[in-house]
Structure 1
Amino acid sequence: MQRLENCTAVVTGASSGIGNSIAARFGREGANVVVADVRREPKLDDKRSVFDKLEECGADSLFVETDVTDETAVEAAVDAAVDEFGGLDILVNNAGIYYQYEAHETPTEDYDAITDVNLRGTFLCSKAAIPELKNSDNAKIINLSSIFGLVGGGSSAAYCASKGGVTNLTRQMALDYAEDEINVNALAPGIIKTAQNVEWRENDPEILADWEEKTPWPRFGDPEDVADAAVFLASDESDFITGDILSVDGGWTAQ
């Protein structure tokens, strides 16, 4: 039996990167997958559309154009999932953006954009989904935090603030909805090889050396490493786990 059979999942930011891999893996595990993203096709140089992957494994899927900072759009994505598949079981708050600045150099509009997508978006999507999740027998919320939601990261003031907020929002929602049996957990990826960071990995030897030094495992992560952890948290195997922040970081935060 597939681990997510008969479940419906909304995955935000699922067209690209980590979200693409999570959505595709959910489809392979039997879930109906709603791709909620501002674009249908992958950004940057992601090579394969999530819809190609979902079609390949025979998963039912739906694309809903969704800006996670827009409450009306978020509510429409949840409604579309329920209308198309009859309910909602899993929400993955993956949509996120990253700009690199020290605090005193951070443009206020970029600070606002990062916190709006990463933190406010997680809140809005959860707010919209929870009434439907209360009707599920396998209700799961999986937030995407970061190692920089647990420890500081160089020149990443706004990003660290947003992901630190996601980390503690996860813990608080876990307490709020424990009686409803909604598991709320977060993933904290380390350096994951995505199109978003390929420029640094290939062209900035100083940053690359710093990342390698801080990652004890002898390689960086792949999006599939995060997807594997997401499947565990979405399945009934994690039923007694809530309020946890699971690091997928090759040991970065163990130091």
Structure 2
Amino acid sequence: MTTPYTLDTLQGLARGQGFAGLRDKVVVITGAASGIGLSMAHAFAAVGARLALIDLNGAALEAAAQGLQQAVPDARLACHVAAVNDETAVAQAFAAIDAQWGQVDVLLNNAGISMNCPTLELSGEAWRKAVDVNLNGVFYCAQAAARRMVARGQGVILNMASMYGVVAAPERAAYCATKAAVAMLTKSLAIEWGPEGVRVNAIAPGYIRTALVDDLVARGRMDLDALVRRTPSGRLGTPEEIAALGLFLASDHAAFINGHVALADGGWSAYSYI
């Protein structure tokens, strides 16, 4: 079985695989305090990008930034506390990024929430929250970034979708609906902004071993052993593997990839048998 990526292997990949074109790029990462967002930050710091890290949890963001600075001592980064579903807060964060870095080259539109409960018990409030964070938040950040990118005639936006925006599952109506909407939003924006020099793609992870998944397992909402058995690759993915995909899609290696939803699910969505 292939050994999963770790932080060390991810940083080795970043330094050694021809990503020099990302050096000095201004990379905005939402949901940067943990999980996939934090792994993305480590990957882009390793190639010398300048980072603008956005998260709702200020304390967690500061701790993440300190850990990143220790891991990559020459990392250049700034932290911005903002909720992506707050249009005003997003505008203020991007204005602050303008003031510090003067441009936005890459947006990793990663922030999102899980929503796992029986649909008959799903409240209107919970439904609206999923839509507000997972879809509206992606739109607000993509629009803010693209206004800057289109003006400069270049840029890359990576939206975080999910395999559950491509295939469905019970008790995840809000999550599946919002992630499917992110996938279609990605394609629409790619068509509209591609002629302006802006590429828009989405990453659709399967089950990734993050604190979010660990919490759902601890609460009995997920059966870890069953997930591993159901995944053809025989394991869950790692945040570093998703970060490696993000690094590639943001780079010039992917210059002709636009409007694509890249599944990284260990074969889950290809396997129709349960």
Taking the aligned partners of 1:233 and 1:212, their CA distance within structure 2 comes to: 27
Could you tell me which residue of structure 2 aligns to residue 53 of structure 1? 68
1:100 counterpart = 2:116? yes
Taking the aligned partners of 1:250 and 1:151, their CA distance within structure 2 comes to: 14
Could you tell me which residue of structure 1 aligns to residue 85 of structure 2? 69
Unaligned runs of at least 5 residues, structure 1: none
Could you tell me which residue of structure 1 aligns to residue 54 of structure 2? 36
Could you tell me which residue of structure 2 aligns to residue 186 of structure 1? 202
CA root-mean-square deviation = 1.9
Taking the aligned partners of 1:94 and 1:176, their CA distance within structure 2 comes to: 21
Cα-to-partner distance string for 1:134-182 (whole Å, 9 max, x where unaligned): 2446510000000101010231111111101001000100000110111
Could you tell me which residue of structure 1 aligns to residue 7 of structure 2? none
Match of 1:228 among 244, 248, 256: 244
Taking the aligned partners of 1:205 and 1:72, their CA distance within structure 2 comes to: 34
* Structure 1 contact 38–66 (Cα < 8 Å) conserved: yes
The two structures have a TM-score, normalised by structure 1, of 0.92
Cα-to-partner distance string for 1:95-123 (whole Å, 9 max, x where unaligned): 10112123222111011111100000000
Query: 1:23 Cα deviation (Å)?
Result: 1.3
Q: How many residues align?
A: 251
Deviates more, 1:33-42 or 1:14-23: 33-42
* Structure 1 contact 89–137 (Cα < 8 Å) conserved: no
The two structures have a TM-score, normalised by structure 2, of 0.86
* Structure 1 contact 27–54 (Cα < 8 Å) conserved: no
Query: 1:203 Cα deviation (Å)?
Result: 6.8
Residues 137, 229 of structure 1: alpha-carbon distance in 2 compared, 3 angstrom cutoff: farther
Residues 195, 228 of structure 1: alpha-carbon distance in 2 compared, 3 angstrom cutoff: same
Which residue identity does 1:69 align to in structure 2? N
Could you tell me which residue of structure 2 aligns to residue 165 of structure 1? 181
Query: 1:80 Cα deviation (Å)?
Result: 1.4
Cα-to-partner distance string for 1:17-71 (whole Å, 9 max, x where unaligned): 111111121111111111111113438xxxx724321453111101111111111
Describe the SS at the equivalent of 1:197. Answer: helix
